Amino acid sequence: MTEQEKVDPQLETFILSETQKQRFQVLVHGLTDTCWDTCMGHPTNRLGSKTEVCIMNCVERFIDATTFITKRLMNTTKYRSEAPLEFQ
């Protein structure tokens, strides 16, 4: 391995951290757009109780779905790393 091919561990950690921050921001923006489109009729000066409940439910379901998918992917990845696929 040449000097140019070596990766600085601090730089790698920084890039990973920034990538995770960016993914989180994209997730939050997507959540905001989805719940806004689903729950908001015509914007007014105040948030009505039905709209507030809708947004809370939307956010909770979005978080539940994201958690479920993340756990499923982690389990799938763990399973694949423990028992690699064999092709015949």
pLDDT: is 51 or 7 the higher one? Answer: 51
User: What is residue 81's predicted lDDT score, i.e. its pLDDT?
Assistant: 62
Residues 21-78 pLDDT 10s: 888 888 888 888 888 888 987 778 888 899 999 989 998 998 898 888 888 878 877 6
pTM comes to 0.55
C-alpha–C-alpha distance, residues 59 and 24, integer Å: 14
- Residue-wise DSSP of 18-72: HHHHHHHHHHHHHHHHHHHHHH-SS--SS--HHHHHHHHHHHHHHHHHHHHHHHH
Given a cut of 60, is residue 1 above it in pLDDT?
A: no
> Do the Cβ atoms of 52 and 83 come closer than 8 Å?
no
Residue 3 pLDDT: 58
Residue owning tokens 């539940």: 64
The span from the CA of 5 to the CA of 68, in Å, is: 38
